[in-house]
Amino acid sequence: MTEHTENGIEAGTVVYDTRMNKVGEYQGKAGPYASLRPLGGGREWEARPESIRPATAEERLSAEVRAANHRSSGFAYPVMDAPAPEPVPGCAACAEFAAQREDAAARSDASTATDAAVLLRRHLRRDHWGTRPRRIFRFVPYLIAQDDTAEPEYEAYCVSGEEADCGAASGPCGSPEAVEEWQRRHTQETRHLRYRRSFSDYAVLEPQAAAR
């Protein structure tokens, strides 16, 4: 029996998640959410049913090209995008950035949508910090420290392109110098100039007394 979402989308349909700005294959329901899988394979994600619609031919082609470029780069894991930030109700600046992101997503302009999401995150950190509930540790003070037993990772992702991002990725590197070297090689080969870079590490909370 074919499974459907509230929007009448059948399992196996290629859809566009307007909140994540991603194209995926609809797998079925996951509780109140829709389960989607990247076209190139990889970890599934959950989307709100009202945020998905059938992908256009251009959106599907762009996703297939990105998946093919990613496979050709020699890395088996998918490039994961961060969830779109949620605007604070009643904030005009939040509403403006969110509108820019949604307009770019409707035009399949992934680069502009990403830029708008970055600006919204910066605005949330700068102007709304402390307006949301925070978890407080009582009685025992803690220090947050980088976990020295795990190596940090650096990565670059090429977002150059007229109608769609290039999609090439450096993969996790152990130093920023390695990422920069990959960028130089990729630019020499393609003349692409725009990249999104990321850094990730592991942190541990240590009781302050034990950290002394």
How does pLDDT run across 85-135, given as a tens digit for each residue?
Answer: 788 888 888 888 888 888 877 777 766 777 787 788 878 877 876 555 555
Q: What is the pLDDT of residues 129-165, one digit of tens each?
A: 655 555 554 556 778 877 777 788 889 989 987 777 8
Helix axes of 92-106 and 110-127: crossing angle, nearest 10 degrees: 170
Q: Provide the residue ranges of all domains of the chain, joining segments of one domain with +.
A: 84-134, 142-211
Cα dist from 34 to 15, 42, 126, 198, whole Å: 11, 16, 33, 28
Q: What is the pLDDT of residues 47-56, one digit of tens each?
A: 888 889 999 9
Q: How many CA atoms lie within 13 A of 76 on its CB side?
A: 0
Check: CB of residue 110 under 8 Å from CB of residue 159: yes
Q: Token pair 């599907």 is at which residue?
A: 60
Task: Compute the distance between CA of residue 95 and CA of residue 208 in angstroms, rounded to an integer.
Answer: 41
Q: What is the pLDDT of residue 3?
A: 45
Q: What is the pLDDT of residue 134?
A: 53
Main-chain dihedrals φ then ψ at residue 153, nearest 5 degrees: -125, 140
On the question of pLDDT at 184 being above 90, the answer is yes
Q: What is the pLDDT of residue 182?
A: 92
Check: CB of residue 199 under 8 Å from CB of residue 170: no
Q: Is the pTM of this model over 0.85?
A: no
